[in-house]
Homo-oligomer: A and B are copies of this chain.
Amino acid sequence: MKLSKKNLQERSNQIYDVVIVGGGAGGLSAGIYLQRYRLSSLIVDKGKARSFWMQELHNYLGLPPDTPGKVLLQQGQKHYLSLDGDFLNGYVETVEDFGEAFAVKVKIGRQNSIYQVFRSKYLIVASGIIDNLPPLEDMENVFEYAGYNLHVCMVCDGYEMVDKQCGLFAGSETSITEMIFNLSWFTPYITVFTHGLFEVSQETKNQLREHGYRLVETPIKSFSGQNHQMTGVELIDGSTIQLETGLISMGSKYHNAYLQGINLDYQGNNLITDKMGRTSHPKIFAIGDLKVGLNQVVVAAGDGALAATQIWRDIRRATEPRRWTENLTVAV
């Protein structure tokens, strides 16, 4: 059921089989599988998963390509609740590992916040990442276009950028060199913007010039456009640059601060897992964008099924098989 400040107390003595941190595609898929395995689960969701921002999921099998990410999440939440899963809007502050159980401390409510600790045998970390956006004075102006034709994921939206005039909004020199040849697969009409945030080496400048790509180091004042369709940028010197689409590549914030007290193996910022999503801690699974792998909604959904299945296998193997007791009338 949907938990709130009002009915929280009903769950204060419960030890869940699994607490899932994050109610995005991965967390919801894991929750659906866990409930169908007759395990108890709680999803704690801070809201606004990365896919929430996607206006059109173009590549999720089974949904029309203009389906908003939001609709997938709503359908998933409804599905999960129909299976009697617990869902709570809240922010996980800390996780402590007491061996027999995890203690998950959740902040509930932005105002007049209360704190509640939930306990579980397993933990699925599915809280994902969120993309850094160009820091403008008027951030509303960025939100106006982000997720429409100002994209954050090339694998998701490269196809929408084919042969269009594209701004690459980079957060570091590395993000230029890592992205530029991926992006040029889709369109060669690339203007790189540094927003004045970092210096570009002569080597990279030469590389851009050789391929005809442009480089703009003057900071951006605002994006131009209407009806969520970005048509270019205005720079702080008053000049304007026409664009048809854009890709923001300024790094990501990893929603994993609550894991600080726990020793886990990472590759860069990403958790290392086995094929079923198990991290270096036998009772912590990582799925979706927090783990090493491809950041895609359909992959996160598959990850959820795998992690839930492995947890079920663990728990089932440690449980005595049920016997047929004769409280059922069977005609043989």
Contact = CB atoms under 8 A, between A and B. Distances in A.
A6 interface: no
Nearest to A36: B159
A135 interface: no
Contact of A58 (B36, B38, B64, B301): B36
A58 B83 CA distance: 10
A43 to B, nearest CB: 13
B59 A165 contact: no
Contacts of A330: 165, 189, 191, 242
A94 interface: no
Contacts of A296: 302, 305, 309
A309 B239 CA distance: 38
A331 B324 CA distance: 78
Interface residues of A, number: 77
Contact of A324 (B63, B76, B182, B211): B211
Interface stretch (A11-19, A253-261, A315-323): A315-323
Contacts of A36: 58-59, 158-159
Interface string A16-43: 0000000001001100110111100000
A270 to B, nearest CB: 13
Contacts of A162: 38
Given A159-B38, A165-B330, A302 B309 contact: no
A34 B76 CA distance: 26
A306 B303 CA distance: 12
Contacts of A62: 60, 62-63, 67, 71-72, 75-76, 301
Contacts of A76: 61-62
Interface of A: 25, 28-29, 32-33, 35-38, 58-65, 67, 71-72, 75-76, 79, 82-83, 155, 158-159, 162, 165, 180-182, 184-191, 210-214, 239-242, 275, 293-294, 296, 298-306, 309, 312, 316, 319, 321-326, 328, 330-332
